[in-house]
């Protein structure tokens, strides 16, 4: 098997969310679907993904046509971060009081109206 046969027919296939994959495979031919099923079976072998892929292959075998579409268009790929922070270094809030249950450095103190003791906890 050549190196090309070890790659799925959809670029970035491994990182596609299952919901996106379901739509992206609609543009593939029967042969490409078979390649993708073989690839998925040999690698991740996810039952839910194989169900989607085999279902689409059955549709194609029963006369469905691949939809038009450009596999290079990847709206699911996030844009690069713009960088920088809009929060200034001095934008941190003031230190507050310890929570009522306490922290190791400041254990909780009982309420004044409920002194500690048996039956009061």
Question: Packing angle between helix 47-61 and helix 30-42, nearest 10 degrees?
Answer: 160
DSSP 8-state secondary structure symbol assigned to residue 103: E
pLDDT band at 118 (very low <50, low <70, confident <90, very high): low
**Would you say residue 2 has pLDDT above 50?**
no
Average pLDDT value for the chain: 76
**Would you say residue 97 has pLDDT above 80?**
no
Structure tokens at 97: 């009081």
Instruction: Give how far Cα 98 sits from Cα of 35, 47, 92, 94, 108, Å.
Output: 59, 49, 17, 12, 8
The helix, strand and coil proportions of the chain, stated in percent and rounded to the nearest 5, come to 40, 5, 60
Residue-level pLDDT at 1: 40
Of residues 33 and 70, more confidently modeled: 33
């Amino acid at each position: 098997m050549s190196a090309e046969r070890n790659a799925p027919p959809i670029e970035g296939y491994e990182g596609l969310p299952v919901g996106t994959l379901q739509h992206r495979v609609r543009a593939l031919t029967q042969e490409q679907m078979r390649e993708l099923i073989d690839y998925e079976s040999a690698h991740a072998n996810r039952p839910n993904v194989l169900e989607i892929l085999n279902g689409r292959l059955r549709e194609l075998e029963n006369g469905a046509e691949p939809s038009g579409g450009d596999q290079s268009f990847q709206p699911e790929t996030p844009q690069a971060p713009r960088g920088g922070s809009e929060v200034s270094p001095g934008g941190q809030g003031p230190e507050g009081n310890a929570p009522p249950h306490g922290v190791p450095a400041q254990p909780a103190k009982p309420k004044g109206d409920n002194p500690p003791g048996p039956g009061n906890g």
